Structure formats: structure tokens, C-alpha cells
Amino acid sequence: MSTISNSIPDNQQPAKRVRKAPSHWNDYETNPKARKTTVREKNQSMLEVFASQKLRYVADAQVSPVRREKVSKLMTPSCQSQTDTPEGQRFIQCIQTMKDDGSDVYAQAVEIRDVVFKTPEGAAVLEKGLFAKREIKKGEVIGVYGGKLMPLKDLKGDDRFDYLFEFPETPFHKWCIDGREMGNYTRYMNHCNPKNENVSSVEFFYGDRPRVIFVASKTIPAGTQLMYDYGPEYWKNKGITPSEL
């Protein structure tokens, strides 16, 4: 399979994630002694994991019928210029292949596991993480971020910054993909220091909506957790600057 460069072309920008997380994540990511063994509980399937958390599994970004026309009008030719590149063609193949029941080849390459670690106070914490079931080659497409495409102004609640991807400096700067109530396995990828990440997120505009595509930035051995840098906006909303990490 062909690979992509670690540098992102001018017309492909890193996706901007805005997601708050528990404060103990900072210690987990920067202090190796805080890390613990990962375990799988009852070997749950992806759909069982989503059902247990009362989440809807969707393969792609969802657009309601009442918003589809408004969203499609924002798709300019410059947005879609990357669709003719080799990378763009592989992204499109992923979009067209992923299924809402998790039976596609992309979902079958990964699994959701429980991750157990300790907080700085010594308390055991159970979180979810995404792991490779087989070796994933550098440049392989991992998946499309699933969720509801919606205007930023419509976000409500104290958790309004959780599991969101925004598209700043694009025609969709007033929109986001909201993965709080629906999504797929990509929502379980945890944050890591940029020097340790093995996954990259890329903005991709195709058809009538924007998307976020995840690609392996290095070869990932089977059994390894898939992780990426959430970016500066993540830390800004959390009240931490990257220099503190």
C-alpha cells in the first residue's frame, strides 16, 4: 500500500480537535510510571461497547436533511481540490467502504480496550483506548471520524467542547463534527505527546460535507494503542499550555 509523507500538503490541514479530558490524563501521558497494563473486559465487540455507553455507531459524519443544502453550498472547488490526489482517492475509498455496523475492513483492523492507570493521587482509573489488532503500515487510512455535523452556535451544555472537531480557516469555520452522542471507533483514540503519536488527523472535504480522516503516521505493531496529538486548542480549553507538558 502506498504511503503518505509525514508533512501535510498545503491543501490538507491537520484537523482541529477541541476536547476536554480528565486532569489525570496529563500525568498519564507524561509520566511513564503512571501507566498500567491494558485489559479487555469481556471481549466486547465495538457495537456492544457503543450500546453499553448508550452511543449510536455511525461510520461517517452525519448531516440532517434540513442542514444538507446549507452545508453543500459551502463546498467550494478549492476545498475539494485534494480529492484528485492519491491520498484523496484512498480517503474516498475509506468513506465509501466504512459501514454503520462496524463490519468493514477498517473497523476490523482495530479494537477498543479498557485502559487502566493511576492518577497522581493513586486512584485507579478505567478509560477506553483504541488498539491495533494487526500491524498497520505507515500511510494506511485508519478511519473517518463519525458524529453529527452541526453549527458551533448550537452547542449546549457543560460538555459542549467534548469530542468535537472544528474546521477553522475554512468555509466550515462555523461548523463542527459533534461525536458526543454518536460516532465510531475513532472517538476512542487518546491524546499523546506529538513526538510519540502514531496517527495523524487530516481535514478532508468531499461530496457535500467536511470530514476528519485518520492516517497511520508510522508503522503500528499489533497490540499497540493508536494515539495522536489533540492540538493546542485542546489544551487551551483545558487551561493548560503545551509548554507545561
Q: Who wins on pLDDT, 156 or 76?
A: 76
* Contact of 36 with 127, CB cutoff 8 Å: no
pLDDT surpassing 80 at residue 217: yes
Q: Specify the pLDDT at position 134.
A: 97
* 220, three cell numbers: 503500528
Neighbours of 11 (CB within 10 A): 14
pLDDT tens-digit readout, 99-140:
999 999 999 999 999 988 676 677 777 889 999 999 999 999
Mean pLDDT across the chain: 81
- What is the distance, to the nearest Å, from the Cα of residue 90 to the centroid of all Cα atoms in its chain? 17
Indicate the pTM of the whole model.
0.82
Lowest mean pLDDT of 13-27, 81-95, 130-144, 166-180, name the range. 13-27
Interior/surface letters 179-218, b for 16+ CB within 10 angstroms, e for the rest? bbebbbbbbbbbbbeeeebbbbbbbbbbeebbbbbbbbbe
Q: Specify the pLDDT at position 192.
A: 86
The domains located in the chain, with CATH, are 16-240 (2.170.270.10)
pLDDT band at 231 (very low <50, low <70, confident <90, very high): confident
Q: Who wins on pLDDT, 178 or 44?
A: 178
Q: Specify the pLDDT at position 26.
A: 43
pLDDT tens-digit readout, 12-59:
555 555 443 333 344 444 444 444 445 555 568 899 999 999 999 999
Q: Specify the pLDDT at position 19.
A: 42
